Amino acid sequence: MTGVRIYVPAFLQIYTENKRQHDMEGSTILECLTTLAERFPALKSRLFNDDDKVRREFFIFLNKSQVHRDDFSQPLTDGDELYISHVIVGG
């Protein structure tokens, strides 16, 4: 397992004990995000859709570089940082 820090946007922090950052262990991006959602069950339905995929309104960044949705299974290294970013849409 790899130690990873996940940064949560302000509007989701009410579901993560009002904390911005969380240290997780996991070998892939998806595994770390899933572990975060398991630790904070109220977050799961906001971050994941019914198919257990990250909702389209979120971008995930690994060490400040955006990760394509098909690459959430890529391996992580100790000390990596994941950022959850919300896409703002409207018309």
Q: Could you tell me the CATH number of the domain that includes residue 6?
A: 3.10.20.30
User: How far is Cα 44 from Cα 83, in angstroms, rounded to an integer?
Assistant: 16
Residue pair 54/47 in contact (Cβ under 8 Å)? The answer is yes
User: Percentages helix, strand, coil for the chain, rounded to the nearest 5?
Assistant: 30, 35, 35
Query: Considering its fold, how many domains does the chain have in total?
Result: 1
- One-letter amino acid identity for 35? T
- What's the pLDDT at 87? 85
- What's the pLDDT at 88? 77
Residue 91 lies inside a defined structural domain of this protein: no
- What's the pLDDT at 1? 65
Per-block mean pLDDT, blocks of 10 residues, the chain (91 long) = 91 97 95 96 96 94 95 95 88 62
Residue 78 lies inside a defined structural domain of this protein: yes
Q: What is the pTM of this model?
A: 0.92
Q: Residue 36 is part of which domain span?
A: 2-86
Q: In this structure, how many other beta carbons lie within 10 angstroms of the beta carbon of residue 34?
A: 19
Residue pair 81/62 in contact (Cβ under 8 Å)? The answer is yes
